[in-house]
Homo-oligomer: A and B are copies of this chain.
Amino acid sequence: MKKTLAVLLAALCLTAQTPTRPIAGFTADSAAREIALEAKFDQGLKRENFQQWLKRLSSKPHHVGSPGSKAVADFIAAQFREWGYETQIETFYPLFPTPKTRLLEMVAPTRFTAKIEEPPVAGDETSAIKDGNLPVYHAYSTDGDVTADLVYVNYGLPDDYRKLREMGIDVRGKIVLARYGASWRGIKPKVAAENGAAGCLIYSDPQDDGYVQGDVYPQGPYRPAQGAQRGSVMDMPVYPGDPLTPFQAATDPNRKPDPKQAPTVTKIPVMPISYGDAEPLLRALTGPVAPASWRGGLPLTYHVGPGPAKVRLKLEFDWKLAPTYNVVAKMKGAEKPDQWVLRGNHHDGWNFGAADPLSGMISVMEEARMIGELAKGGWRPARTLVFLAWDGEEPALLGSTEWGELHAKELQEHAVAYVNSDGTSRGFLRVGGAASLELFTSQTARDMLDPQTRVPVLDRLAAARKVTGGEGEFRIAPLGSGSDYTVFQHHLGIPSLNIGFGGEGNGGSYHSNYDSYDHYVRFADPDFQYVMATAQLGGRMMLRLANADWLPLRAEGTSLAVRGWMNEVIKLTDDLRGQTRRQNELIRSGALRLAADPRKTYIVPEPEAEVPFLNFAPLQNAVARLEQAATAASKVDPAKLDAPRRAAWEESLRAAEQRFLRTGGLPRRPWFRHVLQAPGFYTGYGVKTLPGIREAIEQRLWPEATEQIGFTAEALTAYAEWLEKAVERTR
């Protein structure tokens, strides 16, 4: 009862806009002014803009390289100019393949030709548009024409192939059929190729986002039988962006592109299919029944094969450079113009892209419009604001990566933070980012209301976390990949955030033709409440970062997170040691063989080498020093510093996180330079923290693990030293 009252009171305080609580980076007086400004900002936001912009921008296909994309970029640029921003379109020319031939046939034991088409749907206006429409395909699949027996490989991850080997199934020369899920899609053809497969199909099982989850489109939001998920399969955990120009911007439109020179293009042909197309293939497989956890939602017995289903997969692509239009809109800071606050969202979609990316893009536009309004009313940001509308995110984060590579030096010299969004929908706050921005984020979510429950966004999230068994306290998730923050966070060391809402607007339109205006307004966020919430959140973040008396970056957030990650990798090693011993004992004692069904093929795996004890001392010493430095930094009160000292302190904080970048980067992927986090080499979007160490352990590369402990400790120590010196200079 007491808590309910507290929540109620909090809500009352908020609606009355009483600045009862401190804001990181602000003096008490500044905080009061800031709260008043944010109230004004909120009041000026217009819901009708969302409806108009979403309808307009999603009316035609607007993938990178299409006339639609150019039109969208031009429209957004014109708007930004109208709102008072110095606006330009920066164009790049990365490699972007589109399909010329797509053929999937079953040639035995019966004949079947896959449709690989998404038919029009009643009540979905754009689903009938053919003009300029990108068909169902995987971008950066290699060309190929292969005919082979089919094998069902579950999610197509390394553990799945391990299981197949135990079942006596060899995928070499076969075409594998994997289902979407459990990793980013690009991992599946990569692992298939590593295992010797000749081709790869990826289908959307109805258990994933079809009828098992809910009614299918147009009755409900989920994926219909012929709906398929387009997407990139480039090996982005190695590097994103133009596959021909890693580390460099793709500025030359006149290059002759050769996809053979692109290491991130897949080694084998790969194509996405619907469950309508997958069902006849799965039905035609015999061989062992798939393990229980491999079975999906189709009404059949999932068999592994290989064969007798034999399929032909033929793919040919048009390998061209695509003009990639980034809109860059600046509002110069009045006091600290050399400190840049960045806010971005991509504008390209696979086709109509209403949810992904436009729901986020229109939030950013409305934020920019209203900040323009405030500026027209006489307010000026202290720091420079830069709004960014990226092109070519879908294929490979093309626009943001090339731009980041081109402007690397000035970004590292000026950028304070990058705040990204992408699709947003009804539900709960979802934020990933640099741990140094954890307090900043939680305070922002504390100071705005959830539109459905009218309690602070932070409180609703805390309630959900408690209900699912977690702790109530806000923790920011570390960033993997999957949107345009990648170059900023992982390559340039700029503290980044990825913000949005979700969880209650789920469906199965992702990367399909049905990601449309009609779908979005029926299911994802019917009255734009959460597009509005995203604008309130993003706008507040921009205003706070623009106006703060000193930057709200907090080393203690980072040190707390790093301590947790270090404990995880130590535990990971110990757990792996225990599991290895246990598994080896089961192998050597014959228990695995005895427990197996003698009527089924079962190849007992070979024992693994024992897991050694690793020397974590360098990491432990570095973390201890980091913690001490962070504690010392937290005791600096910028309010009490004179102007030069405060400026020096602020500049030290701003640039501090670049200390986490290691020249030479991570093993086998030098472009990813951040020692604290990276997208997983075998998970794709999924984050790995302390990735050099963690992935070496996971892959049982013990000398590499020890080396990476050293490298990581060096970077942590460099960061700690940087802080120590900065603290020293405040005295």
Contact = CB atoms under 8 A, between A and B. Distances in A.
Contact of A211 (B299, B460, B504): B299
A635 interface: no
B299 A299 contact: yes
A594 B459 contact: yes
Contact of A466 (B300, B459, B462, B591): B591
Interface stretch (A374-382, A582-590, A671-679): A582-590
Interface stretch (A134-142, A172-180, A214-222): A214-222
Interface string A459-476: 110111011100000000
A212 B444 CA distance: 48
A3 interface: yes
A700 interface: no
Given A297-B297, A453-B594, A464-B594, A588 B220 contact: no
Interface residues of A, number: 46
Contact of A467 (B1, B504, B595): B595
Contacts of A586: 466-467
Interface in A113-151: none
A455 interface: yes
Given A4-B588, A301-B211, A588-B4, A595 B216 contact: no
Most buried by B among A299, A468, A593: A299
Nearest to A504: B597
A7 B590 contact: yes
Copies in the complex: 2
B289 A464 contact: no
A592 interface: yes
A299 B590 CA distance: 41
Most buried by B among A426, A467, A594: A594
A588 B1 contact: yes
A7 B4 CA distance: 64
B298 A463 contact: no
A504 B599 contact: yes
B212 A295 contact: yes
Interface in A195-237: 206, 211-216, 220, 222
Nearest to A472: B591
A564 interface: no
A615 interface: no
Contacts of A597: 427, 504
Nearest to A600: B504
Interface string A279-300: 0000000000100000101111
Contacts of A644: none
A263 B301 CA distance: 42
A438 to B, nearest CB: 21
A595 B4 contact: no
Given A3-B590, A466-B586, A594-B463, A215 B289 contact: yes
Contacts of A455: 594
A101 interface: no
Given A289-B215, A301-B215, A463 B591 contact: yes
A300 B588 CA distance: 46
A466 B222 CA distance: 42
Contacts of A212: 295, 301
A589 B453 contact: no
Most buried by B among A4, A297, A298, A452: A297
Given A214-B301, A460-B595, A504-B599, 10 more contacts: A3-B588, A211-B299, A211-B300, A216-B301, A453-B593, A460-B594, A462-B591, A463-B591, A467-B586, A504-B597
9 contacts: A4-B590, A211-B301, A212-B301, A297-B297, A298-B299, A453-B594, A453-B598, A467-B592, A467-B595
